[in-house]
Structure 1
Amino acid sequence: MIQSIDSILAATVATEGGYVNNPNDKGGETNFGVTVAVARANGFAGDMKTMTKAQALEIYRSIYFIKPGWGFVMSVSVGIATECYDTGVNMGPKVAAVFLQRTLNVLNRQGKDYADIKVDGAVGPATTNALRALIAKRGHDGESVVLKALNCLQGARYIELAEGRQANEDFCYGWLSNRVELPRA
């Protein structure tokens, strides 16, 4: 299992590969999986082909791991933090956070194990405490069930994206084979 933020980020860069400019990709040019829009918004002004791995890693660290709060989740479950981060890289951090919050709300047994949390896409103490309560109640099995649910939501969203935009069919097989995984907890 991946144990550190650095190894999580390195795995992303390895999965994403190098420079790509696929005309069917709404994100446009990417390098190491970082879109040109995200690169520009984070201070990179050069040709996307010249973005270094170190620059991409810094964007992943700050925008996709630290800012969304996956470090807090990592203090409870490395596997769930890694899964949410990876989903956030591909779908946006807010989508990943909403997936986690929805999952936690439906696994609390109608509030018997812990209170519902606001589904707002912002990971903070409420989300982290709900996850902590679920794992305290359910243990390793609870962690595995959360990972299964997150992957179910992720896979369903990929299919919806491909159904809603035919050009996304070019990417759906890769999304499902490379992004939706069996639980790692």
Structure 2
Amino acid sequence: MDFETLVEELIDREGGFVHNPNDAGGATRYGITEAVARRHGYAGAMRSLPRAEAIAIYRRLYWLRPNYEKVAARAPRIAAELFDTAVNMGVGVASGFLQRALNALNRNGRDYGDLAVDRVVGPRTLAALDAFLAVRGAGGETVLLKAIEALQGARYIDLAERRPANEAFLYGWLANRIG
């Protein structure tokens, strides 16, 4: 799946302008928070954030900067999950999920060495992903995806437990972000 398809599906899920008082992220448009839009240089009203600007932000901050396009060349479904998780939870969280899952699936270092969970997809993480896929074959991507989604689901429940206002979002997160 290419970035253009992923971002269009994401924007369709996120919708237009939303300002839910229970959302700690504040006002969003196309899923872009005001804080992210400002850091990217957008100065206008969030209600007016252009779709093209949102796509540019997604491409730069949530696809290219974290190297998910490099993951996509190896494991497109993993890249799609990382992209969606990064938008919802942050790039570091998503990248950390990948590293933790790869560490847990390396059979005590027999397939490849453990990664430092530095939450950055760099050459070592990509090499571990290559090694994992070489050892596990086509089915490996499915298992790795399940592991990442398990970590994501556990984090959603933790977020709802720690901040009761997040319970308003838990059902949607589980229904729309996992699987």
Q: Tell me if the contact between 1:72 and 1:124 (Cα under 8 Å) persists in the aligned partners.
A: no
Equivalent position amino acid for 2:106 in 1 = N
In structure 1, runs of 5+ residues without a counterpart are none
Equivalent position amino acid for 1:81 in 2 = A
Runs (4+) off by over 3 Å = none
Is 2:102 the partner of 1:104? Answer: yes
Give, in angstroms, the shift of residue 69 of structure 1. 1.0
In structure 2, runs of 5+ residues without a counterpart are none
Q: What SS is found at the alignment partner of 1:170?
A: helix
The number of equivalent residue pairs is: 179
Residue in 2 aligned with 1:120?
Answer: 118
**TM-score, length of structure 2 as denominator length:** 0.98
Cα distance per residue 1:16-46 (max 9 Å; x no partner):
0000000010111000000000000101100
Residue in 2 aligned with 1:89?
Answer: 87
Q: In 2, distance between residues paired with 1:109 and 1:146?
A: 13
Give, in angstroms, the shift of residue 118 of structure 1. 1.2
Equivalent position amino acid for 1:101 in 2 = Q
RMSD over aligned CA atoms reads: 0.7
Q: In 2, distance between residues paired with 1:9 and 1:132?
A: 25
Residue in 2 aligned with 1:45?
Answer: 43
Cα distance per residue 1:131-175 (max 9 Å; x no partner):
111111111211111000011000110000000001001111110
**TM-score, length of structure 1 as denominator length:** 0.95
Give, in angstroms, the shift of residue 82 of structure 1. 0.6
Residue in 2 aligned with 1:77?
Answer: 75
Larger relative contact order (C-alpha < 8 A, sep ≥ 6)? 1
